[in-house]
Structure 1
Amino acid sequence: MEPKQPKNDVRLYSSLPQPIFLAGPTGVGKSALAVELARRIRGEIIGADAFQVYSGLSILTAQPDQTLLEQVPHHLIGHISAEEDYHAWRYRSEACEKITDILQRGRTPIVVGGTGLYFRALIQGLDPIPASNLVLRSELEQLSLEMLLERLDKADPHANKRVDIRNRRRVLRAVEICELSGKPLESFRTKSRRVIATRAFVLVRAREELYRNIVGRVHHMWERGVVREVGGMRGQIGRTASQAIGLREIIAWLSGESNEVQCRGAICAVTYRCARRQLAWFKSWTTFTPLCLSQGNSMRAVVERIAAETKTFGT
């Protein structure tokens, strides 16, 4: 059974101010800036992160800390069990409901995160792709990434142009879609793009500064007890949450396959690679205005620029 489009589509409220979209790579400083912006314009924050939706992994997934959470309302962060699967269709449905509710209460929704697929789900809609098939999924789960890529190439020789071939989960899903439908991925491309928000920004920093932030973030995770958090959640993490950055590396250390120095270094490296992919994704979206937090641009100055460029409630 194919997922249905959410009923509470924000297109129904086009007479109201549209949400602000605030994207950016891991470690750029989205959470703190979003809170300052929300305080400035009477806003509420809606998460757009594929892993921050999970409870029990707040340190690993760098969810906003309690100090930030208490300053302004946050939504779609830590609201589901780590054992549950989560996907863009469900995110779109829940996010649209939150956006509608916030707008109707006279406040401004600020969608914040680094998961490009979630932004695309809201701004452009989603293609009616086939639902997962448990039998085929079980079969594909047993295959290596190389075997999945071979199978994808047979099902759709051009699919590697649309899929991150280093991401096993996405390659697996692409194989599943092609084999269940008998169609190439291109056939599921959205025919009519619906931009439901034009107030979109992407935060960037100089790469050296971004990497320093990521190293500092990993150090902060250690101080807060991320290893203890992951150890306590072992056996309670489902297929989707298991892809969270750093989880595999920490479990490898806990299993005696590496030491602490190797583990922390590996997490820094994989996080930086993820940040670079996120930057590339958002730079390809010409509708997102880049805002640099380096070169002497303070967070306050960036907040004031966004507030000045957007017509919002309470400003």
Structure 2
Amino acid sequence: MIDLQKVIFVCGPTASGKSAYAIDLAEQIGGEIVNGDAFQLYRGLEILSAAPSLEDLARVPHHLYSQLEPTAKNDAQAYVNLANPVIAEVLSRGKTPIVTGGSGLYLKFLTHGASPLPTGDAEMRKQLDARPLEDLVAELTALDPEEAARTHLKNRRYVSRALEICLLSGQKASVLRDQWLSASQSREKQLNGRLISIPRPTLHARIAKRTRLMLTCGAIQEVDNLQSASDTLEKAIGFREIRSFLHGEISRETCEELINAATRQYAKRQETWFRREGWLTPVLA
């Protein structure tokens, strides 16, 4: 088990300055950077994914960048399986791992572990969707009155999910959720995290500047050179937009506008996600 008290997490929205902050911190304390970004794990799209520059890589040791083939699939648990041995190795040398990135779910799995709640079951969900909401509420109330009392009972999706948890696990959803919350709160007392925070207008200006530089400095060529990519990698912001440009479906100007808009939306979702993580201490980049 890794001692998370000895690990520093640097989180924040894209283009907020996480990497620069983490590198400065690493130089001050003798730390080493461990990637916490889903797309910087891949080789072949270093410009598009804003991976560290050669100059950055030369300043302090970096780990888990450009590790995966473009065709490799990846998810949060697979990331944890990659990251834990690296973090342990850095700690074994007396160095401080500084996990840096903006992929909230990946970092959540690394810091808190996977949720014990069962994943959705398509067949069961189909059956539940065919039943009246009042019927679902009645069954949930009978099986788990505590969960029913704190569920928005007019929201079919919430009711259906709570009932699904009960039926799939054979346990009360309220008990599973409370156990997970208690374990998470206990774990968070060990965590040392920084949340990079900058004004939104400044962030948007940085996003626009970075997008233009990416397109000018090789991101289009990266996508053009890629023969095939996994479903995971194709989700990288800019990948599909550049493909559309290369296929003549949109102009370069439209491509840039679409990437900017998608990046701004992603940054907003990241800000919302990380604000819910009370263990992160806001800092200015």
| Post-superposition CA distance 1:83-138 (Å, at most 9, x none) | 111111111122121111111100000010001112211221113577999xx8xx
Q: Could you tell me whether the CA contact under 8 Å between 1:56 and 1:78 is conserved in 2?
A: yes
- Percent of aligned pairs with the same amino acid: 35
CA RMSD of aligned residues (A): 3.2
Gaps of 5+ in 1: 1-8, 137-149, 163-176, 294-315
Q: CA deviation at 1:57?
A: 0.8
Matched, 1:119 2:107: yes
What's the CA shift for 1:160? 10
- Paired residues of 2:118 and 2:169 also in contact (CA < 8 A): no
1:65 aligns with 2:57: no
1:1-315 alignment, distance < 5 Å: 9-10=1-2, 13=3, 18-127=6-115, 154=129, 157-158=156-157, 190=180, 192-193=183-184, 194-195=187-188, 197-233=190-226, 235-293=227-285
Partners of 2:80 and 2:106 within 8 A in 1: yes
Residues 263-294 of structure 1 show CA distances to partners (whole Å, capped at 9, x for unaligned) of 0011001001000110111111111111123x
Distance 1:159 1:64 in 2: 41
Distance in 2, Cα, partners of 1:225 & 1:248: 15
- Does the CA-based 8 Å contact 1:19-1:197 persist in structure 2? no
Count the aligned residue pairs: 250
More helix by proportion, 1 or 2? 2
Aligned to 2:133: none
Question: 2:83, 2:208 → 1: CA distance?
Answer: 31
In the alignment, residue 96 of structure 2 is paired with which amino acid?
T
Query: How far is the alpha carbon of 1:223 from its aligned partner?
Result: 2.2
How big is each residue's C-alpha offset from its partner over 1:232-257, in whole Å with a ceiling of 9 and x where there is no partner? 11x42011111001111111111111
Give the letter aligned to residue 201 of structure 1: R
Unaligned runs of 5+ residues in structure 2 are 131-135, 137-155
AA paired with 1:93?
Answer: N
Q: Determine helix, strand or coil for the equivalent of 1:22.
A: strand
Aligned in 2, Cα 1:98/1:216: closer, same or farther, shift over 3 Å? same
Taking the aligned partners of 2:25 and 2:255, their CA distance within structure 1 comes to 35
| In 2: Cα distance, 1:100 partner to 1:208 partner | 39
Q: Describe the shift of the 1:281–1:79 C-alpha distance in structure 2 as closer, same or farther (beyond 3 A).
A: same
**Does the C-alpha gap of structure 1 residues 182 and 97 become closer, same or farther in structure 2, counting only changes over 3 Å?**
same
Matched residue type, 1:256: G
Once residues 217 and 247 of structure 2 are traced to their aligned partners in structure 1, the CA distance between those partners, rounded to angstroms, is 21
8 Å Cα contact 1:152/1:159 also seen in 2: no
2:261 counterpart letter in structure 1: A
Contact 1:123-1:196 at 8 Å conserved across structures: no
- The 2-side partners of 1:56 and 1:153 are apart by 44
Alpha-carbon distance in structure 1 between the residues aligned to 2:160 and 2:284: 29
Equivalent pair of 1:123/1:197 in contact (CA under 8 Å): no
Counterparts in 2 of 1:183 and 1:159: CA distance versus 1, 3 Å = farther
Q: Give the C-alpha shift of residue 197 in structure 1.
A: 3.8
Find the aligned partners of 1:160 and 1:267 in 2 and give their Cα distance: 36
Corresponding residue for 1:167? Answer: none
8 Å CA contact retained: 2:189, 2:279: no
